[in-house]
Chain A
Amino acid sequence: MKNFIGQPVDRVDGPAKVRGKACYTADVHPPGLAYGVIVAAAIAKGHVVRLDTVAAEAVPGVISVIHHGNAPQLAYAPMEPRSMVDPKVGEALRIFQDDAVLFSGQPIALAVAEEPEQAAQAAALVRVTYAAEAANSDFARASQTARPPRQSAQPWSRPAELRRGDADAAFAAAPRRVDASYEQPAEFHCAIEPHGTIARWDHDHLTLWDKTQWVDHDRTAIAHVFGIPDDYVRVICPFVGGAFGSALRAWPHVAAAAMASLLVNRPVQLVPTRRQLFSAIGYRPQTVQRLRLGAGEDGRLTAVIHEVVAQTSVYEEYTEASIEPSAMLYAAPTLRADYRLAPMNVNTPCPMRAPGIVTGNLAVELAMDELAETCGLDPLKLRLRNYAESDAQKRLPWSSKSLRQCYAVGAERFGWSQRPATASGRRHGRWLIGYGMASALYPAHRAPASAHAELRADGTVAVTSAAGDMGPGTYTAMTQVAADALALPIAAVHFELGDSLLPSAPAHGGSMTMASVGSAVHAACQELRTKAQELDQRVRLPGDDRLAMQRAYAQLLARHRLDRLTAETEAKPGEEAERYSICAFGAVFAEVRIDPDLAELRVARLLGVYAAGRIINPKTARSQCIGGMVGGLGMALTEQGLWDDRLGRLMNASLADYLMPVNADLQSVEALFVPENDRHLGPLGVKGLAEIAVVGVAPAIVNAIYNATGRRIRSLPVTPDKILGLS
């Protein structure tokens, strides 16, 4: 009998999604639902002096206009310790608690009405008078006075610096050097499903249907906002239409919906508009990174100096792991890496696919391409020459690392040996052709998770955990794990997630769902199988025939007059993270075609080869990876937040003006996996696969652009004007 793990099993939730039967947050319409529409601040800093709601309240159907002048003061009890998804320094925005405006787009009022259009009209009619102050909205200026993050004793806080040896001295002495600065603009998740919340109070209990990657955290965070016990709040979110990290925190609009529902004594739906979403949630912070690489004549690294400046808000310090890649990617004996913050009048940034890692990796991999040229080495050779056999920063062995195989398979499949050695060395008609590559890594994590498994009278099993599925295929993968553990057919497994009443699960983020929840599902189902066997030692369970197994379970239960048999398990990580450095690795190859006269650019081929432990489902894994690679394409070529420095406002807050890549930008994309089985992170052999797919893509493309044109472009995205060297 073949295992389902490792098979390209179809998505178990696919038919429901294709038929429109999957119920997303805004699809929920409890009886008596009212609708809220946000009024967002038009200034970046100052105070609300007057809020005139007379015209808004006159709109037919309007129930209430809520703002700091009439909103209840909420408890906002501090969470101790802070959640891993919240910044460790500063205070989250408190909705409608005072008149201060900290960024443009901040929610300052909420119109609630019988119909969404009435609420929208009322929101548009709220007249706001501001006392504006000079805002800090210019990243170039703010980064000049950047400062280290304040240190915090909270768990999950990040070091602001990494050191090994004397990197500055080693750099000064190095015969080969690269010293370059790289700019990366703010990027926005732009998930197709807008964020949204439906809040309903039943006496002192609150039910939230909310777009979230973590129902348990959402529950706890909102319970703290209202100062009520955690178990008075229930959060439901069975489907997420893309989130990429944007739905980890409990955003201000979630509290606003709950507050509105409390005040109007009805269920309230709140879905920010697309424009509002650019400031209602977070985004990948804008950064400037200076990278210095020192190497011997042979290209062996002797020094890495990495200085990151990233934007954050004035009310919270959001920090990222951007300095980690320079510490882990290559075997450099010395390192100095510093992380600095530039606080601005903007909403707080938040994790976005491979937060920090993709940013730091970008700078390192662009600089490595420059070093390869300086040393006269093939970029892939340079990377192999500096291959890190262990984690030099943590001084730990890797739990598993098959990056060499990724390079080899990728180079072979891609035809890397055909790379034109010099810039603009190859043409195809009007197109210049360029090849580029980059390494990728993403640290693998695991967190405690629980699952419940219930064998039913018909021999089927219901497995539950408060996990999430924002699209990667949690439903399907967990079904495979359960089916294998119990030797059941796929159709006999029903997996349920996305409800805070279910056994607790960690954030559906950081690529740790499979290692964490997967381990719990595996353990619960194994325990259930043992229990079933223990009911009757004389019965031999036909573990090699899934249908027979289902019948056998049914018979066992029937014989023992049981209508169900259950097991619940918590699976916890061990000490592996202290003994090993655990990362997924990858190698990305890109071919670009550029018309040097017209600045037209097409990515002809993108190939990612990944070593991410065991691949539970190659079909959903491939889909996950090519999606991530397209995200990297956007990072390279099209995506950027454009703030107006004087208005302090993001001016391209719409999907027409914030450009996500389209199919025509990319002619071929493929993801491959090298066989790997990580023996340390958990029983399933997985390392996590999601974040890694966006890592390395942008530098591979930008390096290919250099190979095609001879132009080093150090500021993303690479738009036509930059290709021509005109801006």
Chain B
Amino acid sequence: MQPFRYSRPGDSREACAAGAQPGAAFIAGGTDLLPLLKEGARVATGLIDINGLPFADIRHEAAGAWIGALSRMSDAAADNRLRQDYPAIVEALLASASPQVRNLATIGGNLLQRTRCLYFRDTAVPCNKRRPGSGCPAWDGQNRGNAILGGSRSCIATHASDLAVALAALDARVVLQGRHRRRQIPLTEFHRLPGDTPDIETVLEPGELIIAVFVPATACSRHSTYLKLRDRASFEWALTSAAAAVELDGNRIRRAGIAVGGVATKPWRLPQVEAALAGARSEPATFRAAAELAGQEAEPRQRNAFKIELMKRAIIGALTKAGNLP
């Protein structure tokens, strides 16, 4: 680890100004940042501790829920209203990491965690995301965990957050505070595709903070669920996951939000699947037909083609649960 300065700003103005300095990094729970610093996969010369800022509460309004960026994953997971009205969020959180990590890790930090691509954290090997222009060894290497959607020749790393997948399905927005303005961005537009610049992962500007996530309360959000498939039963990122939110009208689906994780370079909505579900009967045949559409744009590499089928099954599994079918 390289030496760094440490500061603890008193308000968000100060924080944003400090965060805009070259080499600066915000630190919240530190559960992702510190391992990266220790391994040298990221270098920061100034750590700006934002834990003192007033963004830790969870507020419920008729229009939706405001989840403060500094609320801990464990606090959000234990929030009763979230559990009732946005079950996919709580399920995604409880399927993430371990209780110990969740006690420290924050909601904002979760959305900004870096990929688990095997090459990203090992500084002895090339990686475009870590060292732009150095190459992408995952392309022809150990890519079983990598993305089948949204990749480019520069990078096929998945976005690892479970929470972000649930939020994407629920039309959540990210609330950002910059030096000069506050803005809201749909979660699905917050992360960027890798393209030729896989090192730039979000639309955040220098010094800009995530201060909250807003989730609209809808008929869909109440009937939502998160299904995660992984290589071990706990304490492991998704091999493939699916969030499904459906609004039912009798036994017909009025509207559905479907997002998948572990398969794409960013939290990934599936509009073609949603379109196939809208207006159809809520039954296994519908789910199967709709899920079939999910794999159309997939571009697998040598070791991850199985994710196409696994993704379809995860979608069917999540829909079956969200549709309250046996």
Interface set of A (CB-CB < 8 Å, partner B):
40, 42, 104, 117, 120-121, 124, 275, 597-600, 602, 637-638, 642-647, 649, 651-654, 656-657, 659, 661-665, 719-721, 724, 726-727
Contacts and interface: CB of A to CB of B under 8 A. Distances in A.
A23 to B, nearest CB: 25
A721 B233 contact: no
A651 B234 contact: no
B70 interface: no
Interface string B272-308: 0000000000000000000000000000000101100
B122 A600 contact: no
Contacts of B124: 40, 42, 104, 649
B235 interface: yes
Contacts of A719: 231
Contacts, number: 102
Contacts of A651: 118-119, 122, 125, 141-142
Contact of A656 (B2, B116, B119, B234): B116
Given A598-B314, A646-B140, A656-B116, A664 B233 contact: yes
B137 A644 contact: yes
A127 to B, nearest CB: 13
Best-surrounded residue of A637, A652, A720 (most CB of chain B within 10 A): A720
Given A121-B3, A644-B142, A599 B236 contact: no
B1 to A, nearest CB: 6
B140 to A, nearest CB: 7
B317 A598 contact: yes
Best-surrounded residue of B1, B142, B229 (most CB of chain A within 10 A): B142
Given A644-B141, A651-B142, A662 B234 contact: yes
B57 interface: no
A432 to B, nearest CB: 15
Contact of B310 (A120, A646, A656, A726): A726
B313 interface: yes
Nearest to A124: B40
A600 B124 CA distance: 35
A67 to B, nearest CB: 17
Contact of B231 (A104, A720, A724): A720
Given A117-B3, A647-B125, A653-B122, 6 more contacts: A124-B40, A599-B313, A644-B141, A646-B140, A659-B236, A724-B313
Given A42-B125, A121-B3, A599 B233 contact: no
Contacts of A275: 39, 122
Contacts of A597: 313, 316-317
A243 B116 CA distance: 28
Nearest to A660: B232
A138 B157 CA distance: 24
A649 B231 contact: no
Contacts of B310: 599, 720-721, 724, 726
A720 B116 contact: no
Contact of A662 (B39, B122, B142, B232): B232
Nearest to A719: B231
B309 interface: yes
A179 B233 CA distance: 33
Nearest to B141: A644
16 contacts: A121-B3, A598-B314, A600-B229, A600-B233, A638-B231, A638-B232, A644-B142, A647-B125, A647-B141, A659-B232, A662-B234, A720-B230, A720-B310, A721-B144, A721-B239, A726-B306
Contacts of A120: 1
Contacts of A42: 124-125
Contacts of A662: 232-236
Contacts of B266: none
B231 A659 contact: yes
A383 to B, nearest CB: 30
A645 B235 CA distance: 28
A598 B229 contact: yes
A665 B137 contact: no
B303 A727 contact: yes
Contacts of B121: 654
Kindly list the 8 A-B residue pairs having the minimum CB-CB distance in the complex, ordered from nearest: A726-B306, A664-B233, A42-B124, A664-B234, A721-B306, A651-B118, A665-B233, A644-B141
Interface string B1-16: 1110000000000000
Nearest to A642: B142
Interface in B90-148: 116, 118-119, 121-125, 137, 140-142, 144
Interface size class of B (residues with CB under 8 A): 35 or more
Contacts of B305: 726-727
Contacts of B123: 124
A654 B121 CA distance: 10
B311 to A, nearest CB: 11
Contacts of A121: 1-3
Contacts of A646: 137, 140-141
Interface in B198-228: 227
B43 to A, nearest CB: 9
A724 B118 CA distance: 24
Contact of B232 (A104, A642, A665, A727): A665
B87 to A, nearest CB: 19
A651 to B, nearest CB: 4
A137 to B, nearest CB: 11
Interface string B32-46: 000000011000000
A665 B40 CA distance: 33
A720 B40 CA distance: 32
A117 B37 CA distance: 12
A38 to B, nearest CB: 12
Best-surrounded residue of A42, A120, A651, A724 (most CB of chain B within 10 A): A651
Contacts of B1: 117, 120-121
Interface string B220-256: 0000000101111111100100000000000000000
B137 A720 contact: no
A125 B314 CA distance: 45
Contacts of B313: 597-599, 724
A120 B40 CA distance: 10
A180 to B, nearest CB: 22
A666 B221 CA distance: 33
Nearest to B236: A659
A46 to B, nearest CB: 14
B29 to A, nearest CB: 16
A647 B232 contact: no
A727 B305 CA distance: 8
Nearest to B227: A598
A642 B118 contact: yes
B232 to A, nearest CB: 5
A638 B236 CA distance: 11
A597 B3 CA distance: 50
Best-surrounded residue of B40, B124, B125 (most CB of chain A within 10 A): B124
B233 A602 contact: yes
Contact of A726 (B2, B231, B309): B309
Nearest to B43: A124
Contacts of A599: 229, 310, 313
Contacts of B316: 597
A642 B122 CA distance: 13
Contacts of B234: 662-665
Contacts of B118: 642, 651-652, 657
A600 B317 CA distance: 12
Given A597-B313, A726-B310, A720 B229 contact: yes
A727 B306 contact: yes
A652 B2 CA distance: 24
A373 B314 CA distance: 33
B116 A657 contact: yes
B232 A724 contact: no
Interface string B310-325: 1001101100000000
A652 B116 contact: no
Nearest to A633: B232
Contacts of B227: 598
Contacts of B3: 117, 121
B212 to A, nearest CB: 28
